[in-house]
């Protein structure tokens, strides 16, 4: 078995260890004997149909988001949307998450268009939402907590197409008002949680791997891993979040 990860704009969109998510996906595949190729795609690169199983994009500030928005809308947006409809999966964090929605309206300057994988949109607020986050989520019927770190001024309001990734227990989440955090539409997951997120949230990592395999190798199960260390990190992050709120 072989999966191909498309890392979108690794040089422009990568803060607070976002890149570690790609490493975690690749490692969890390798431990199960699944081959992984990681392809970095930057400005101007196009997406060949069916070439990628998992798309990943990290966070970035407004300046990077403007550059990436132009390129996404011109060269990649329609292809990514089609791939998601056809069963590819995606993990997009913070600034990347905002660009997978309809638009991001910064405090100053023009609205930054997104590609609309999600129906939601984002508007900058005055106060920055910074801190440790714990959410409660349900991934393919499995209940799990997800932990991470948020730092954003954008408030995201979800649309009809997607559901929240989870309910915010500690932290601000999408907008600090409705207790939602992140978004899921088919295999596409958006979230404000940096981290790296996946090393300490193995349930989310495996959700993405399962989704990616489902399209390419229907019926294929994945082996459970010994996640003792991962869950120690997970529990530690929950304790720290409780302490800091
Ligand atoms: N510009 C966005 C915000 O502050 C994204 C920030 C980020 O990716 N950390 O809302």
Q: What is the mean pLDDT of residues 103-131?
A: 97
- pLDDT value at residue 98: 98
**Catalytic residue list contains 194:** yes
Q: In what order do the strands lie in the sheet with 188-191?
A: 35-41, 2-8, 54-57, 89-93, 188-191, 183-185
- pLDDT value at residue 195: 85
Q: Which of 13, 16, 62 for a ligand 1 pocket mutation test, highest count of atoms within 8 Å of Cβ?
A: 62
Domains and CATH numbers, the chain: 2-244 (3.40.50.880)
- Report yes or no: 228 and 191 within 8 Å, Cβ to Cβ: no
- pLDDT exceeds cutoff 90 at 1: yes
**Contact 66 CB / ligand 1 (< 6 Å):** no
**Catalytic residue list contains 70:** no
- Counting from 1 in the atom list of ligand 1, the atom nearest the Cα of 122 is 10
2-8 vs 54-57, strand pairing mode:
parallel
Q: Tens of pLDDT along 127-179?
A: 999 999 999 999 999 999 999 999 999 999 999 999 999 999 999 999 999 99
The one catalytic residue in 6, 29, 89, 94 is 94
121-139 vs 142-157, strand pairing mode:
antiparallel
Closest CA to 65 of 41, 33, 97, 37: 97
**Contact 152 CB / ligand 1 (< 6 Å):** yes
3-state SS, one letter per residue, for the chain? CEEEEEEECCCCCCCCCCCHHHHHHHHHHHCCCCEEEEEEECCCCCCCCCCCCEEEECCCCHHHHHHHHHHHHHHHHHHHHHHHHCCCEEEEECHHHHHHCCEEECCCCCCEECCCCCCCEEEEEEEEEEEEEEEEEEECCEEEEEEEEEEEEEEEECCCCCECCEEEEECCCCCCCCCEECEEECCEEEECCECCCHHHCHHHHHHHHHHHHHHHCCCCCCCCCCCHHHHHHHHHHHHHHHHHC
- Counting from 1 in the atom list of ligand 1, the atom nearest the Cα of 95 is 8
**Contact 151 CB / ligand 1 (< 6 Å):** yes
Q: Tens of pLDDT along 203-221?
A: 999 999 999 999 999 999 9
Q: Tens of pLDDT along 7-52?
A: 999 999 999 899 999 999 999 999 999 999 999 999 999 999 999 9
Q: Distance from the CA of 151 to the center of ligand 1, in angstroms? A: 7
Q: What is the mean pLDDT of residues 82-102?
A: 98
Q: What is the mean pLDDT of residues 95-123?
A: 97
**Contact 154 CB / ligand 1 (< 6 Å):** yes
């Amino acid at each position: 078995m072989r999966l191909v990860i498309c890392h979108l704009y690794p040089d422009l969109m990568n803060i607070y260890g976002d890149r570690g998510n790609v490493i975690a996906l690749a490692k969890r595949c390798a431990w199960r004997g699944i081959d992984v190729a990681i392809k970095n795609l930057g400005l101007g690169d196009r997406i060949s149909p069916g070439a990628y199983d998992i798309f990943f994009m990290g966070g970035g500030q407004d300046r990077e988001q403007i550059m990436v928005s132009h390129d996404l809308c011109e060269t990649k947006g329609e292809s990514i949307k089609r791939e998601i409809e056809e069963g590819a999966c995606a993990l997009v964090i913070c600034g990347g998450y905002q660009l997978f929605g309809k638009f991001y309206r910064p405090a100053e300057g023009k609205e930054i268009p997104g590609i609309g994988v999600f129906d939601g949109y984002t508007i900058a607020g005055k106060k920055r939402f910074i801190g440790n986050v714990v959410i409660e989520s349900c991934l393919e019927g499995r209940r799990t907590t997800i932990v991470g770190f948020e730092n954003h001024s954008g408030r995201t309001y979800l649309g009809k197409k997607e559901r929240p990734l989870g309910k915010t227990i500690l932290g601000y989440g999408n907008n600090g008002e409705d207790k939602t955090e992140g978004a899921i539409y088919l295999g596409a997951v958006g979230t404000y949680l940096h981290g790296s997120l996946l090393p300490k949230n193995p349930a989310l990592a495996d959700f993405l791997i399962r989704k990616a395999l489902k399209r390419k190798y229907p019926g294929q199960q994945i082996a459970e891993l010994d996640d003792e260390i991962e869950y120690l990190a997970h529990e530690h992050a929950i304790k720290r979040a409780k302490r800091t709120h």
